[in-house]
Chain A
Amino acid sequence: MSGKSVDRSSFFEPERYEFSARPAYHFEPGRREFFRLFGTGIAVFCLLKDAAAEQESGGGRRAFDQRLPQEVSAWLHVAEDGTVTVYTGKVEVGQNARTSLTAAVAEELRVAPGVIRMVMGDTDLTPFDMGTFGSRTTPTMSPQLRKVSAAARDLLIDLAAQAWRLDRSQRERLVTANGRITDPETQRAVDYAELVKERKLAQAIPAEDPLTPAARWTVMGESLSKIDGRDFVTGKHRYTSDLNLPGMLYGKVLRPPSFGASLASLDSREAEAMPGVTVVRDGNFVGVAAPSVDMASRALVAVRAEWKSVPQPSGRELFDYLKKNAVEGPGERRSRHEVGSVERGLAQANQRLDETYTVAYIAHAPLESRAAVAGWQGGKLTVWTGTQRPFAVRSELAEAFRVPEDHVRVQVPDTGSAYGGKHTGEAAVEAARLARAARRPVKLVWTREEEFTWAYFRPAGVIEVRSGVGSDGTITAWEFHNYNSVAAGIGTPYDVPNQGIEFHPVESPLRQGSYRALAATANHFARESHMDGLAHLVKMDPLEFRFKSLKDERLRAVFEAASRRFGWGRPKTQAGQGFGIAGGFEKGGYVATCAEVRVDRATGEVRVARVVTAFDCGAVVNPDQLRNQIEGANVMGLGGALFEAIEFENGRILNGRFSRYRVPRFSDAPTIEVVLIDRKDQPSAGAGETPIVGLAPAVGNAIFDATGVRLRSLPMTPNGLKL
């Protein structure tokens, strides 16, 4: 049995958004089982484009056989009672995908949202999906579900037309609404439920563009409230950590004292003697399972382990470390974009600005920490866990236990947030290992300290920006280097003839991965702060300076909308007040944010008083939930902007709890005004991430406006502002 140590290099993926980790442990093999399908009614499957071509050459639509092939991306089923069950591999983590996808189906199938049941993130029932990340649900899954819904509606109309013996032209007059087909000529009507009685029809369709244009939406485009909201306000919703199985035990894992430490010796005799306690040692993995959490905690305390530590980097040398340990030389992980000649551009410049920005590691700190419930039955493993990538976690489990993937089922209950921090299946692997040894289901809930320490962080980074500007405000050169914090949002939307933009990967001292908008926050912070600095160098208004080099019509529009609502350009009304603006685009979304800060010079306190964000993500799917995401992104962004930072020393996290790691609270929340630009002529883009990127630079620029001090490190004021 080999405890495999984690390969740090695999934690770093500059171009791909998802964070993937090999399992930290590999265990003994198990045995195989099977998987099953559905019942009476009609079913429609959506095939991905590549598969669709093949499908069409085979004669277009065809009946479906027993297997759910890889190329199916989503499917739905209309049952005899009229219930519509939709299957998607996406998961709900608070971004309200369950609600927006329900609206998409309701829109095209012409049913009330209330009859739709959305089965999400279940590897036995839902089609394969890469994961819920990168703001992909709205631009990719929603159109696919709309297409299957439209095809299902078409099929139902066919059934009604057959029953009423209508020809093709008569069929055209049938009207569908609220789960019912009506013939306006004859006043005949039939419910979907009636039409599908005793039928077993299945159809596969290629993924094409959805049918109903945004201008004619009736369900989408409206503020549908959280579909199962009542379960949340009553406490009925079961998150992973709320699940209880008969005979279930509670697990705890013994953590090494520092990163990279290996187990030297273990004495678990006392713990093993406790009634009902199982102790597992497998390589570097040590864990216990017990009939109660209390018992598991006591058993863990009774385990005596010695660890062999190896020296690890510390936070105080972080930024030097990142610069010195950059992976130089050509490689696929390194990326450079070059236009014109930066040196020539700098030579032409009237003034130059050379700055270094830094960003700290921060923690996602989802309020629901990692949790899993795992059980083995006849060699098959079933795991419930909160993850953004159920299929990747299935692979992790299959690899860790050396069993085929179809012996593993991963189910994701709607989860207590993720923010990019739950791409991996650590708790799932650990719970499954304990369950196998104990021969009983095991629930494992990470403590807050474990979540802060053994999950992964948003990458820290160093960003160097060097630019030149003419006296008229024309930017002549733009050189931008990002060390480690990843390439998302690294480019500039401004018109600069000479550019050199480069991402430098680093072997990160801490385990790092995705985060809401990932490095776009860091890159926007550096770029938009630097732009503000350039505007001041040439004595131009920061907004006017941007407009001089900004051709993108949609980005201009959000800048205009935000500045208009904010009252950009109005004089200050009190001491310590400052105004800042910043913006950009990422993942199909255009954002501009204005911030007003108040700086108390005596105490050094910086308060963000007001934020205005204008956002364009194409046709708006759900205005109220979109506002909710934008407000939340601004509040979350405030933490990383002002005070969140992971402190670490020699492989230990020093502030891994809420009493030591400050997150935004009620009193930190500024007034937030949201301006939505609803572009019904544009496809809908995701919106959970991009609204976060404008906040930090807008606040930094406002602090500069208030004090004349340029803050170049995120967080900007962890201990207040020393003037």
Chain B
Amino acid sequence: MTRVTELQVNGAKRRIDAAAEASLLSVLRDQLDLTGSKYGCGEGQCGACTVLIDGSPRRSCITSVGAAANKQITTIEGLEQKGRLHAVQQAFLDAGAMQCGYCTSGMIVTAVALLRAYPDPTEQEIAHFMEGNICRCGTYLRIVAAIRQAASLMKEARR
């Protein structure tokens, strides 16, 4: 059985010890105590576990740790820089785009990827890109508004 002993997470090398086929989510949560990524379904259907792997959104519950080795993994914990929230995090906060907050990490991480692909997305593009993320509390409209807000914040920052 192949074992993985190192991951690149949020810009740092982290020691782990896991079978290559173990889920990335379980290793992040149980070995690295990065519990911001959530278990929601275990079949890649809800998006609560979403992380970025080399910049692309991936469902960490159905991604093996072997497939993530030697790649850059970004979790929700890696978005805040020097105490400053990522524009998407700030926009979620400002728009009150959450209730229980359990889906929020996955939503934010997916939205970060969305805004890399579509810096100025329409509401339809947002809904399409985010379709795999479930908010059971039903705050979808607020999340769409937050992502639109983040897009304009980021556009301003680029100027």
Min CB–CB distance A323 → chain B (angstroms): 32
Cβ of B136 and Cβ of A365 under 8 Å apart? Answer: yes
The bracket for how many chain B residues form the interface is 35 or more
Q: A233-B92, A234-B80, A666-B140 are in contact. Are A367 and B100 (CB under 8 A)?
A: yes
Min CB–CB distance A277 → chain B (angstroms): 16
* Chain A residues whose CB sits within 8 angstroms of the CB of B75 once the complex forms: 235
Instruction: Scan residues 297-343 of chain A and give those whose CB is less than 8 A from a CB of chain B.
Output: none
Cβ of A233 and Cβ of B104 under 8 Å apart? Answer: yes
Cβ of B136 and Cβ of A230 under 8 Å apart? Answer: no
Min CB–CB distance B128 → chain A (angstroms): 7
Cβ of A416 and Cβ of B100 under 8 Å apart? Answer: yes
Cβ of B41 and Cβ of A657 under 8 Å apart? Answer: yes
Comparing A103-111, A484-492, A533-541, A633-641, the segment that makes contact with chain B is: A633-641
Cβ of B26 and Cβ of A445 under 8 Å apart? Answer: no
Whether B63 sits at the interface, judged by CB under 8 Å, is no
Min CB–CB distance B81 → chain A (angstroms): 11
Min CB–CB distance A564 → chain B (angstroms): 21
Whether B73 sits at the interface, judged by CB under 8 Å, is no
Q: A235-B35, A664-B138 are in contact. Are A367 and B103 (CB under 8 A)?
A: yes
Whether A426 sits at the interface, judged by CB under 8 Å, is no
* Chain A residues whose CB sits within 8 angstroms of the CB of B48 once the complex forms: 367
Cβ of B131 and Cβ of A665 under 8 Å apart? Answer: yes
* Chain B residues whose CB sits within 8 angstroms of the CB of A417 once the complex forms: 99-100, 102, 136-137
Whether A136 sits at the interface, judged by CB under 8 Å, is no
Cβ of A636 and Cβ of B41 under 8 Å apart? Answer: no
Pick from B34, B39, B128, B133 the residue with the most CB of A within 10 Å.
B39
Name A368's contact: one of B79, B100, B127 (CB within 8 Å): B100
Whether A625 sits at the interface, judged by CB under 8 Å, is yes
Cβ of A366 and Cβ of B136 under 8 Å apart? Answer: yes
Whether B105 sits at the interface, judged by CB under 8 Å, is yes
* Chain B residues whose CB sits within 8 angstroms of the CB of A368 once the complex forms: 38, 40, 100, 102
Cβ of B29 and Cβ of A235 under 8 Å apart? Answer: no
Min CB–CB distance B27 → chain A (angstroms): 10
* Chain B residues whose CB sits within 8 angstroms of the CB of A658 once the complex forms: 40-41, 43, 45-46, 134
Cβ of A666 and Cβ of B131 under 8 Å apart? Answer: yes
Name A367's contact: one of B102, B130, B141 (CB within 8 Å): B102
Cβ of B93 and Cβ of A233 under 8 Å apart? Answer: yes
Cβ of A663 and Cβ of B136 under 8 Å apart? Answer: yes
Name A669's contact: one of B94, B96, B141 (CB within 8 Å): B141
Whether B113 sits at the interface, judged by CB under 8 Å, is no
Name A672's contact: one of B101, B136, B141 (CB within 8 Å): B141
Complex alpha-carbon distance, A293 and B126, angstroms: 35
Closest to A451 in B: B41
Comparing A213-221, A239-247, A268-276, the segment that makes contact with chain B is: A239-247
Cβ of B138 and Cβ of A669 under 8 Å apart? Answer: yes
Min CB–CB distance B148 → chain A (angstroms): 13
Cβ of B41 and Cβ of A448 under 8 Å apart? Answer: yes
Cβ of A242 and Cβ of B35 under 8 Å apart? Answer: yes
Cβ of A666 and Cβ of B22 under 8 Å apart? Answer: no
Cβ of B142 and Cβ of A233 under 8 Å apart? Answer: no
* Chain A residues whose CB sits within 8 angstroms of the CB of B139 once the complex forms: 628, 631-632, 635
Whether A36 sits at the interface, judged by CB under 8 Å, is no
Cβ of A448 and Cβ of B43 under 8 Å apart? Answer: yes
Min CB–CB distance B116 → chain A (angstroms): 18
Instruction: Scan residues 59-106 of chain A and give those whose CB is less than 8 A from a CB of chain B.
Output: 93-96
Whether B156 sits at the interface, judged by CB under 8 Å, is no
Q: A233-B93, A667-B128, A669-B138 are in contact. Are A628 and B85 (CB under 8 A)?
A: no
* Chain B residues whose CB sits within 8 angstroms of the CB of A185 once the complex forms: none
* Chain A residues whose CB sits within 8 angstroms of the CB of B79 once the complex forms: 234
Q: A235-B37, A663-B136 are in contact. Are A416 and B102 (CB under 8 A)?
A: yes
Cβ of A244 and Cβ of B33 under 8 Å apart? Answer: yes
* Chain B residues whose CB sits within 8 angstroms of the CB of A625 once the complex forms: 96
Cβ of A225 and Cβ of B134 under 8 Å apart? Answer: no
Cβ of A665 and Cβ of B134 under 8 Å apart? Answer: yes
* Chain A residues whose CB sits within 8 angstroms of the CB of B134 once the complex forms: 367, 658, 663, 665
Name A96's contact: one of B93, B94, B99 (CB within 8 Å): B99
* Chain B residues whose CB sits within 8 angstroms of the CB of A680 once the complex forms: none
Complex alpha-carbon distance, A294 and B31, angstroms: 12
Min CB–CB distance B31 → chain A (angstroms): 9
Complex alpha-carbon distance, A263 and B66, angstroms: 38
Q: Sorted from nearest, which 8 A-B pairs have the closest CB atoms?
A: A235-B36, A94-B100, A635-B138, A416-B102, A232-B101, A235-B76, A242-B35, A632-B138
29 contacts between A and B (CB under 8 A): A93-B100, A94-B99, A94-B137, A225-B94, A225-B96, A232-B98, A232-B104, A233-B98, A233-B108, A234-B77, A234-B85, A235-B35, A235-B75, A235-B105, A241-B35, A244-B33, A366-B136, A367-B100, A367-B136, A368-B100, A445-B39, A631-B139, A632-B99, A635-B141, A658-B43, A666-B128, A666-B140, A666-B143, A669-B127
Q: A366-B102, A634-B138 are in contact. List 17 more A-B contacts (CB 8 A).
A: A232-B101, A235-B105, A241-B35, A244-B30, A368-B38, A416-B100, A417-B99, A448-B40, A628-B139, A631-B139, A636-B138, A658-B40, A658-B45, A658-B134, A666-B128, A666-B133, A667-B128
